[in-house]
Each structure stands twice: as structure tokens, then as C-alpha cells.
């Protein structure tokens, strides 16, 4: 009798634990604009800018200035601008 | 000389085959281009035919890449999204529900009906039911099955059930990753072992699991499980035979074939194969676990005295004569009759050391 | 609010595989692992086009959804990264990915694949930036250096663009306008169906 009761309690506990898992929605991370989602990691702007003439230096820890630097770098891929810049000088 | 002519014949055959195939391939490849050209006339800037071509991928000899590997020349495969929807959707949700519902039914049965007790007192005389070999085969299959079931559950549901228990901390992720890595490797190595064990089990037990006419009567009365009437059966009752043929035979074959395909990616299976096989594997496994839970319940606490027959320690595979008479009457009569023929002096099988 | 993206311009790609080589050399990637590859469509036929493809850092990434141990995470720039220490090598991300981006060092028997490796948008992994461990597992962290992915920056014809989606879209748009064609990659023709009247050749400078 003791054993049956213990078994029933264990079964009920196990079932409720499993049932709790069932209510869990499928875990799908959809990107939210500008939001960090996930594991701890150093953010790019928390590093010192390298001493490199091709890089616009940013303020360590300042996200906006890092983004400005990256934007300048990205615009460098537009060779139309590069040629214009060259002809203007 | 003979080899030479054979090779010549082979080359000629190859050229002929190519001559037949090549124009068709060219047609197949340019079909998309033709459609694209037509589409540009009716709907300029509509590139649907091109993208349809891109997704077709693998078989297209005009879609190439320098990178070697499985399906590297396929630019986009959309089937992965379908697989994801099925795996993360119905397979996980209904699979989990199925396992829970079966567990609840068993719990409810145990609570309402209770374990099936012997109606008469045990005689104290023992009948040999399973030999050492039979029990060894049963338990190697059973243990490998349990390992596969638990590790499989961790891989399918662990992210939703076990990971939240550990919490979202770095440490929690690390612990769960260890658990999952152990599960995956156990699953991949015990899987082939299970195939060996289950095959041995099939060979060992098949002769007693052949379907007999009285099994229909047993099934019709659900083995007297609900209303308690006495239904005779052979060494195995119809329920056990269904478990044998549907579970051990059919589901094991499905799981073995799909499992081996998943377990040995070194033969270069494509993604489409893996996706299909993975879904079939998961569905079959969940059903198998559901039926196995019923079997485990009936074999341990569900029916009094049944576990004695499979004992490794504290028993030698013998059951009490009362149990044999009440649950497997035809088998009991056969055993008693054969005992009479052999004129066993003591009239009882070896005594287990209870 | 940068949202990092890749954009491959099929009109410009010359299938030089420079991006593949740049990637391999930048991150010291072993044989058999290819974070990036160039696929040629209609190879050897009129209208041949090549497209460079790697992890596209999806917003709703299928790899993240199917991973049984949840190794993936997303930075605020939309880069999909993963933690190799947690990876169990099940291969599910490879089955789910539309682009064939996840790579495994082996395809061994008994499912021994090793840790998954994929394009990180040159943003490393969860290890401390510029650490030896980060380089060994994920390659160089160019994003933390204020640089862009090596493949895009090395592309000789600038067919492969990488960076903030808005910025590279602007670059591409100016290109399409200059060329007078190319707006079809945005799929507007598919989305809006049959036009009322057949447009003649687009006037130069028209917004496509």
C-alpha cells in the first residue's frame, strides 16, 4: 500500500512536470530591431578602436559613434562615391 | 584482347547513353530559361521561373560551384523550413501530448482499476517461464531501449523541458549541453546495439508469438483487463503479441532503417532524405515509447506476479503455478502435460531463492 | 541602429571565388569547411549568373529554431552567432538552413560531426574579443575592429556588399539606377504581378 501511494505521488509529480513543459511555446527567436538577444558577449563598441588610418575612431563604449564609424566603412564599398571624391579633389 | 573489346563496347554504350541523355538535360535546363523569357513578355521583371530553377538545385548540371560537399551547388533549399515547421510543430507538440496522454491513461487505470491481483492464493510451486538466455536478451533489449528513449526525449524535448529547469545562465546552458552531448552520443552508439538486441529478441521469441485463433477472443475481451473475466491464452497473450509484432517487429524496423540513415551521414545523404527520415524516426519513436510504457506498467506493477518471470536477481525466470493458470492457461496446461510426459520426479521446477 | 546584411549583386559577380578565399584565409578555416561559396546558375549558357552565398543572418533563423541545445544567439546588429562550446554536432541546423551555411569538420560514422562552424559576419563568438580562444573557434572579429566582413571588403568587383542593410541597399539602388535595370532582385515584379501597361525601357534616373 505504501509503495502504491509513493508510486502514485511520484507519477503525479512527474506528469505535472511534463505537463508544465507542454505549455511551453516553441522557442523561436525572431530578430527585433536593435535588440540584443542571447548569450553574454562583448559588444563591438566596448573595445578600443584600433590604430588604423582606414578606421574612423569611435569612443569606447559609445554605440552611436561605433555605428557612425561602421557606416563610414560601409559607404566605402560604394565606388561611385570613391570616384566622385577623387575627382572633386 | 577480350578486355579491350569490352572496354570499347562500354565506351560505345556510354557515348550512346550520353547522346540520348544530353539533349534532354539541355532541354531540362533551358526549360526554366524559356519560361523566364516568356514570363518577361507577360510580366516584365518577374523572376519567379529563375527562382524556381534555383530551388530545384541538385540535379541541375548547369548549376555549379567550386566548393565540394553535399549539395553545395544548391543555392536555396526551401524544404528545411517545412521540416522545421513539422519538427518544431506537430512532432514536438502532439508527440509530447501523446506521451503525456498515454502516461495519464496508465495512471488513471492504475488509480481506478488498480493492479491485477491473483484471484487464488499462490501455490508455492514454480513453473519455469523464461530461460537465462531469454531473460538476457529481453533485458539487453530493454535497457538499450530505455537508454535510447531517454536520450531521444532529451534531444527532442530537452530544450523546452530540461533547459528551463537549469535556467538561462551560462552555467545552465553548459550543463544542459553536456547532458545533450552525452545523450546524442549514447543515442548514436546504443542505436546499432539495440538493432542487434532486438534482432536476437525477435529470433528468440517469435515462435511463441505466432498468432493463434484464440487470440482474437482474448482481444475481444481486452484480456479480461477491464471486467476481470477469465480469458485463456498461450505463452503470450494477444496483447503481448501485438506488442511483439507492432512494437518489436514493425516499429523496430522503421526506427532501425531511419536511425541508420541518420546515424551514418558519411554516405553523403542529402538534406531532403535526412529531413524526411528524421520526422519518420521521431513519430515512430514517440509511438514506440507510448506502447512501451504500457508494456512496462503491465510487466511490473500492473499485474501481480508477472515480474517474477523476468527477474535476473532473486529469481530464475519461474512463475507461480497460480499465475500461470490465471494468465496463460493454455501454456500452463502444455507445461503440465509435458512435465507429465517427462515424468519429472519432484513435479516442480527449480525453486527460486526468494 | 545598424542591421547587418549581405547583398550579392549577380550582375557583377565574376565567380572569382575571391570571397571564399578571403574568408578561408582570414579565419584560418580548415579543409572541408566552407563558410562561403559561389554558386553559378546556368553555367556555360547564355545568361550565366553567379551568386556568393553564406549565412544570411536571418531574422527568423531556422537554425536557431531547430537547435536542440539552443547554441545560437543574435546580436543587436542582427548577426546570428553561436557558442561552439555548447554545440553537440547533431546537424539539425544544416538540415534546416535554406542556404547550406552550417558546416561540420567531419561527416563521421555514428553522427560524429564535430562542432558546427558557420559565417559569423566576422563578429567572432561569445569568447572575449580578440582572444586566442575566439580566433581558434570563430576566426577574426573584424566587427569589433570597426571593419566589415573580409569577403565583402575583398570583393574585387564589389558584387558582394556587407554592412548595415540601409546603407548597402542605398549603394545597390544607386547602382541599379545607373544601370537602368536590376530592381527585379527586390521581387516587386513578383509581388505586384502583371503591370497594366508594358513599361518601355526605364528612363535613366527613375526610381526602381
pLDDT higher than 50, residue B115: yes
Higher-confidence position of B227 and A44: A44
Q: Would you call C195 and B43 a contact, using CB atoms and an 8 Å cutoff?
A: yes
Number of A to C CB contacts under 8 A, please give it. Answer: 116
Q: Is residue B61 included in any domain, yes or no?
A: yes
Residue B239 has pLDDT above 60, yes or no: yes
- In chain B, positions 249-268, which contact chain C (CB-CB < 8 Å)? 262-266, 268
**Which of B24, B52, B77 lies at the terminal end of a domain, its last residue?**
B77
| B20 and B32 share one domain | yes
Last residue of a domain, one of B26, B48, B77: B77
Name beta bridge partners: C60: A30
User: Residues B176, B90: one domain?
Assistant: yes
Q: Which residue, B77, B103, B122, sits at the end of a domain? A: B77
Q: Are residues B53 and B87 in the same domain?
A: no
Instruction: Determine the structural domain holding residue B253 and report its residue range.
Output: 79-342
Sheet holding C49-53, edge to edge: B64-65, C37-41, C49-53
Query: What are chain C's domains?
Result: 4-179 (3.30.70.20)
Q: What is the pLDDT of residue C193?
A: 56
Query: Coil, strand, or helix at residue C140?
Result: coil
ipTM: 0.86
The shortest CB-CB distance from B265 to any of C53, C67, C113 is to C113
For chain A, give every domain's residue range: 43-89
Residue B349 counted as domain residue: no
Per-residue model confidence as pLDDT tens digits over B289-323? 999 999 999 999 999 989 999 998 888 899 999 99
Neighbours of chain A (3+ CB pairs under 8 A): B, C
Q: Are residues B229 and B136 in the same domain?
A: yes
Same domain for B21 and B116, yes or no, is: no
Closest residue by Cα to residue B81 from C78, C54, C66: C66
Do B44 and B107 share a domain, yes or no? no
Is the pTM of the predicted complex or chain greater than 0.90? no
pLDDT at C199: 52
**B78 in contact with C, Cβ within 8 Å:** yes
Note the pLDDT of residue B313.
Answer: 84
User: B168: pLDDT confidence band, cut at 50, 70 and 90?
Assistant: confident
Q: What CATH number is given to the structural domain containing B125? A: 1.20.950.20
Mutate to test the interface with A, among B90, B94, B100, B109 (most CBs of A within 10 A): B100
Handedness of CA A37, A40, A46, A48 (dihedral sign): negative
Kindly give, in sequence order, each residue whose CB lies less than 8 Å from that of residue C171, ignoring residues fewer than 6 positions away: A74, A75, A77, A78, C161
pLDDT tens digits along B29-76? 567 778 888 887 887 777 777 777 778 777 788 889 999 888 898 999
User: For chain A, how long is the longest CA-to-CA vector?
Assistant: 95
Q: How many structural domains comprise chain B?
A: 2
Examine the domain organization and report whether B153 and B229 are in the same domain: yes
Residue B350 falls within a domain, yes or no? no
What residues of chain C score a pLDDT lower than 70?
181-208
Which residues does C2 contact at the CB level (< 8 Å), separation at least 6? Answer: A67, A70, A71, C77, C163, C164, C165
Domain match, B104 and B157 both: yes
Instruction: Assess whether B293 and B204 both reside in one domain.
Output: yes
DSSP B130-196: S-HHHHHHHHHHHHHHHHHHHHHHHHHHHHHHHHHHH-SSHHHHHHHHHHHHHHHHHHHHHHHHHHH
Same domain, B32 and B65: yes
Cα–Cα distance, B150 to B163 (Å, whole number)? 15
Is residue B121 domain-shared with residue B247, that is, in the same domain? yes
Asked if A44 lies within 8 A of C178 by C-beta distance, the reply is: no
**Mean pLDDT of chain B, nearest integer:** 86
Chain C residues with CB under 8 Å of A50 CB are 145-146
Mutate to test the interface with A, among B87, B89, B161 (most CBs of A within 10 A): B161
The rounded distance, in Å, linking the Cα atoms of B47 and B39 is 8
Which candidate from A28, A33, A36 shows the least CB-CB separation from C75?
Answer: A36
Asked if B107 and B162 sit in the same domain, the reply is: yes
Q: Is residue B348 domain-resident? A: no
Separation CA C25–CA C130 (nearest Å): 17
Q: Look at residue B102 in the predicted model and tell me its pLDDT.
A: 96
Running DSSP on this structure, what letter comes out for residue B50?
H
Task: Give the single-character DSSP code of C147.
Answer: -
Amino acid at each position: 500500500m505504501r509503495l502504491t501511494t509513493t508510486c502514485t505521488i511520484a507519477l503525479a509529480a512527474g506528469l505535472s512536470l511534463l505537463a508544465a513543459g507542454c505549455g511551453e511555446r516553441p522557442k523561436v527567436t525572431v530578430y527585433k530591431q536593435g535588440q540584443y538577444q542571447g548569450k553574454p558577449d562583448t559588444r563591438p563598441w566596448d573595445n578600443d578602436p584600433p590604430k588604423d588610418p582606414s578606421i574612423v575612431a569611435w569612443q569606447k563604449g559609445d554605440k552611436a559613434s561605433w555605428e557612425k564609424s561602421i557606416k563610414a566603412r560601409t559607404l566605402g564599398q560604394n565606388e561611385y562615391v570613391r570616384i566622385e571624391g577623387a575627382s572633386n579633389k | 584482347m577480350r578486355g579491350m573489346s569490352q572496354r570499347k563496347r562500354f565506351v560505345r554504350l556510354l557515348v550512346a547513353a550520353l547522346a540520348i541523355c544530353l539533349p534532354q538535360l539541355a532541354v531540362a535546363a533551358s526549360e526554366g530559361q524559356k519560361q523566364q523569357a516568356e514570363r518577361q513578355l507577360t510580366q516584365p521583371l518577374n523572376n519567379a521561373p529563375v527562382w524556381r530553377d534555383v530551388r530545384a538545385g541538385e540535379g541541375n548540371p548547369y548549376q555549379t560551384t567550386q566548393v565540394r560537399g553535399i549539395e553545395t551547388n544548391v543555392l536555396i533549399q526551401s524544404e528545411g523550413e517545412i521540416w522545421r515547421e513539422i519538427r518544431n510543430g506537430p512532432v514536438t507538440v502532439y508527440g509530447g501530448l501523446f506521451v503525456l496522454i498515454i502516461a495519464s491513461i496508465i495512471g488513471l487505470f492504475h488509480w481506478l482499476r488498480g493492479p491485477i491481483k491473483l484471484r487464488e492464493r499462490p501455490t508455492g510451486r514454480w513453473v519455469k517461464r523464461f530461460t537465462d538466455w531469454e531473460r538476457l536478451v529481453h533485458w539487453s533489449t530493454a535497457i538499450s531501449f530505455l537508454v535510447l528513449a531517454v536520450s531521444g526525449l532529451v534531444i527532442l524535448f530537452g530544450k523546452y523541458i530540461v533547459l528551463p529547469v537549469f535556467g538561462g545562465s551560462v552555467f545552465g546552458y553548459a550543463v544542459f549541453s553536456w547532458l545533450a552531448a552525452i545523450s546524442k552520443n549514447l543515442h548514436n552508439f546504443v542505436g546499432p546495439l539495440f538493432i542487434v538486441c532486438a534482432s536476437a529478441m525477435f529470433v528468440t521469441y517469435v515462435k511463441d508469438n505466432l498468432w493463434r485463433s484464440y487470440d482474437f477472443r482474448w482481444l475481444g475481451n481486452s484480456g479480461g483487463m477491464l471486467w476481470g473475466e477469465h480469458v485463456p491464452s498461450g505463452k503470450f497473450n494477444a496483447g503481448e503479441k501485438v506488442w511483439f509484432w507492432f512494437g518489436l517487429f514493425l516499429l523496430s524496423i522503421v526506427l532501425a532503417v531511419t536511425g541508420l540513415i541518420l546515424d551514418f551521414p558519411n554516405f553523403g545523404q542529402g538534406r531532403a532524405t535526412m529531413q524526411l527520415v528524421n520526422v519518420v524516426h521521431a513519430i515512430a519513436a514517440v509511438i514506440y515509447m507510448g506502447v512501451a510504457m504500457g508494456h512496462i506498467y503491465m510487466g511490473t506493477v500492473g499485474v501481480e506476479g508477472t515480474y517474477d518471470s523476468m527477474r535476473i536477481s532473486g529469481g530464475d525466470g519461474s512463475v507461480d503455478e497460480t499465475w500461470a493458470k490465471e494468465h496463460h492457461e493454455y501454456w500452463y496446461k502444455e507445461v503440465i502435460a509435458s512435465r507429465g510426459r517427462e515424468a519429472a520426479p519432484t513435479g516442480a521446477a527449480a525453486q527460486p531463492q526468494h | 541602429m545598424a542591421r547587418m546584411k549581405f547583398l550579392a549583386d549577380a550582375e557583377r559577380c565574376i565567380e572569382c571565388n575571391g570571397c571564399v578565399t578571403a574568408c578561408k584565409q582570414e579565419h584560418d578555416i580548415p579543409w572541408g569547411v566552407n563558410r562561403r561559396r559561389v554558386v553559378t546558375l546556368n553555367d556555360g549558357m547564355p545568361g550565366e549568373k553567379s551568386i556568393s552565398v553564406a549565412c544570411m543572418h536571418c531574422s527568423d533563423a531556422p537554425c536557431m529554431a531547430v537547435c536542440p541545445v539552443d547554441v545560437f544567439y543574435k546580436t543587436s546588429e542582427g548577426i546570428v552567432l553561436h557558442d561552439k562550446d555548447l554545440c553537440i554536432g547533431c546537424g539539425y541546423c544544416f538540415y534546416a538552413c535554406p542556404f547550406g551555411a552550417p558546416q561540420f569538420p567531419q561527416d563521421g560514422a555514428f553522427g560524429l560531426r564535430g562542432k558546427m562552424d558557420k559565417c559569423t559576419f566576422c563578429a567572432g563568438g561569445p569568447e572575449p574579443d580578440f582572444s586566442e580562444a575566439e580566433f581558434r573557434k570563430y576566426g577574426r572579429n573584424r566587427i569589433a575592429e570597426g571593419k566589415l566582413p573580409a569577403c565583402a571588403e575583398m570583393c574585387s568587383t564589389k558584387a558582394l556588399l556587407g554592412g548595415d542593410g540601409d546603407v548597402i541597399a542605398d549603394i545597390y539602388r544607386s547602382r541599379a539606377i545607373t544601370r537602368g535595370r536590376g530592381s527585379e532582385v527586390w521581387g516587386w515584379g513578383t509581388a505586384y504581378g502583371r503591370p497594366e501597361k508594358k513599361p518601355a525601357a526605364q528612363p535613366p534616373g527613375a526610381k526602381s
